[in-house]
Amino acid sequence: MGILAVHGGEDVNRSREITTDLLGAFNSDETRPVNADSALTDDPILYVNETRGEWGTVSEAETPIDMAFTVYNPNLEPYVVTEIGYDVTLNGIEMASGQTGEGYLIPSRSTETIEFTTALRNPRLDEWWVTHLDADVRGHQVSDLQIDFYAVIELPSGEAVTVPLDELTYEETIETDIFGEGDDVRDSGDAEPSDTDGDGTGDDGNTTDDDGNTTDDGDDTTDDGDDTTDDGSDGGILPV
């Protein structure tokens, strides 16, 4: 919610509440494989069966997102996820970057839920807001949100591999109309061309000269019936 103050004889506060669903599509029950692409283990090394995200308690410094991954280990040996890392960008501006502070043991053929919190840095919102309004970046009042993840997984041998979680990459486009400009503000560059071809000829084939007179170049239809001429010309306006 933003407050716009207009100063005159008295202060007038106007507010508009903006509702978005940035995390709705992140909440998913789709099963996605995690492939290590390593000679040390067979793929898929794990499966992510569910992802969840919700907003945490906002402070002046940060906007947290509480996330949870439900992970399944299909192997005969236990695996340890020692770290989940993340990068959050808005229109290419880094809003958050970090990793979990604890590891999770995933027993053989068992499921474990990995929970962690990302924190958007609120001081970066000013920098992002400029790009959100700049039509040359993504379009006027348009932003692209992207969250990338990686995992550090300890194998039964004791060796660790870093695995990009490409299947979990989250992308969402944000469009707003905060100032009530409507769709026209985004379509202003796609305006229809003028009906005039530049030679004084319109779509109906009529030609207009420099004096403002119009000549009908199209085919006229003549009524074979008797025409009546009114000598008292009224400028072409028919009386009703």
- Give the pLDDT confidence of 162-196 residue by residue, as tens digits: 999 999 999 988 888 776 666 555 554 444 444 54
Domain ranges of the chain: 23-186
Distance CA 227, CA 147 (A): 78
Q: What is the pLDDT of residue 177?
A: 76
Domain 23-186 belongs in CATH node 1.10.3470.10: no
Q: Amino acid identity, residue 65? A: I
Q: In the prediction, which pLDDT does 11 show?
A: 55
Element (H, E) at 125: helix 125-133
Q: Is the pTM of this model over 0.75?
A: no
DSSP line for 128-186? HHHHHH-TTTTSTTEEEEEEEEEEEEE-TTS-EEEEE-GGG-EEEEEE--TT---THHH
